[in-house]
Structure 1
């Protein structure tokens, strides 16, 4: 029986990457789990099934629990210190450094990539601007650190035997960044958790972490110019005060903050449409909305093009806008209200079912077994 190791970047919150890890743990219940650090709150640890992850020296550095990201320049060194020499199969699921674990010629390393490090590659300039690091001495040091991180990332990619991408969009980024081909297995969405509802209320919904790249501010600005249309904003994060300021004095815009998952599912089910302005690698929230039978109004870049079917498609499930601007969102909302009657709640649900957890398990397990067979044959 082959010994399996699962390698995750860091464990700090139960979010999209952790939903993938949850399914990997279900597929390989005897696997050992490794991560750069583990600061998961107690109320979010259930998916680990009582496991205690093996962590790196980052776990014990000063202030790491709150500021672990500030130790990013040390993470390549940290991940390389994990001793995986006793394992036959290594499965990493990186958006940062997890694929950089050291493996030997007798070990198969399969890497399920959420994304190459966006802040180190094509989004470096945006990241530096948004972090206030696009000038001065700190900016120069940050650019040098990211330069060294890119060099290490290429070395780390060379140690991966099989790349798996979470969307065709990410497969293209892997090809561009590492010059490697990747199979595509869409991440798992717990479609069964979302109740289908055909009858809708007269409000629009957006829900996400309130961080810059989610572009929730653009959605709020758009609805501030459409006072006859109601918007609910669900989520919390560092951009919350800025977005609340944009919404202040706008009775049609309601800031809900963080809500329990059950309440969010109910809001999704009753929404007239779900509005999504980010360029995501995959984007779970639009799939969850469709699972409820709710149409999606989305920015037409990234993973949304693979999870939402536009008005020109057979059995459409949403409307795309072509620029991350309030004007483009306004135009898309108005188009949805003119032409959205062709979107059927049943079509939204059927589309979402393409991304179920059972489908993920079957596709990923089959891919790994095929790779293992080839690996053994070639040995």
Structure 2
């Protein structure tokens, strides 16, 4: 029987990249799984079946449970220590270092790329700014570390036999960063749950993790200036307090936090439009919204170009793609 290893960056929560891993494990039920760390709660471990996860030394470092990302500088070393010599096929699920596993000449290594390291490549400036690392000794160290990570990232791409991109946007990034070709296979989205219903559509809705690059604060600020339009923000994250502060005093903006799957479905079905401001690698939530018959107002870059049909596109529009101010075709 074919021996298969699946390598994932880290197991913390069941989110978009974990949905991909779940489907890979269904295709290869005999596969073993490896990760930098595994802190996924019991309630979300169904995707793993009864598999034991093999982790690295970072699992046991101080404060790793909550701050394992702070060990990003050690992750290339950690991923290279995984012993995969006994496997015929290695499938890495990569948005940081997973593709850096070491394989031999008689092993096939397929890498599914959710994104090359955003913070080390074209989003470095935004990452440093958002982290307060533009200047000073810490900023200098961060730039040096990201430089080392870029060098390692390019070198480790040589160990991959086949690249798979999760969107045409990521396909272009793979070509730019690694000078390699790839095939696009979109992430799995269970659209059977998200059906259109006939009802009055009222509020606009945002569903997102509240982290800087999602730019939910930008959406909230826009709706502060449109008090006649209701906005519901669904999600939680480290930016929650800042976004609540932006929304303060605006009765048309409601912060819901995390909601259950049934409530989320109802909100999407009842939304006048789904608003998505991030330059996302793909954008599963946009697909789910459209499956509900809800139009999407999206930032016109990244994965939205694969998902949202704008005015004038073949098949008719499914939403609006908003371009940055001052660019050609500001709304498409």
**Shorter-chain TM-score category?**
over 0.9
Q: Secondary structure at the match of 2:171?
A: helix
Q: What SS does structure 2 have at the residue aligned with 1:96?
A: coil
For 1:124-176, what per-residue CA distance to the aligned partner results, in whole angstroms no more than 9, with x for missing partners? 11111111111100111111111111111111100000001001110100000
TM alignment of 1:317-328, pairs within 5 A: 317-323=318-324
How does the TM-score come out when normalised to structure 1? 0.85
1:37 alignment partner in structure 2: 37
The equivalent residue for 1:81 is: 81
Higher helix share: 1
Matched residue SS, 2:192: helix
Instruction: Tell me the equivalent position of 2:278.
Output: 278
Q: Supply the distance in 2 between the matched residues of 1:41 and 1:324 (Cα, whole angstroms).
A: 42
Provide the C-alpha distance between the structure 2 equivalents of 1:82 and 1:177, rounded to a whole number of angstroms.
Answer: 25
**Matching of residue 197 in structure 1 with residue 180 in structure 2:** no
Matched, 1:116 2:94: no
Tell me the TM-score normalised to structure 2 length. Answer: 0.96
Structure 1 unaligned blocks of 5 or more: 326-330, 336-379
Distance in 1 (CA, whole Å) between partners of 2:200 and 2:286 is 16
Aligned to 1:255: 255
**What is the match of residue 12 of structure 1?**
12
- Structure 1 distance, partners of 2:310, 2:46, is 37
Is contact 1:272–1:295 with CA below 8 Å preserved after alignment?
yes
**Match in the other structure for 1:244:** 244
2:316 alignment counterpart: 315
What secondary structure sits across from 1:164 in the alignment? strand
Gaps of 5+ in 2: none
Once residues 80 and 192 of structure 1 are traced to their aligned partners in structure 2, the CA distance between those partners, rounded to angstroms, is: 40
Equivalent residue, structure 1, for 2:49: 49
Aligned residues: 328
Distance 2:241 2:41 in 1: 24
**d(CA) in 2 for partners of 1:122, 1:281:** 13
**What corresponds to 1:356 in structure 2?**
none
The structure with higher relative contact order (CA 8 Å, sep 6+) is 1
Q: Write out aligned runs for 1:132-281 (5 A).
A: 132-281=132-281
CA contact (8 A) 1:207 1:233 kept: yes
Contact 1:210 1:237 in 2 (8 A): yes
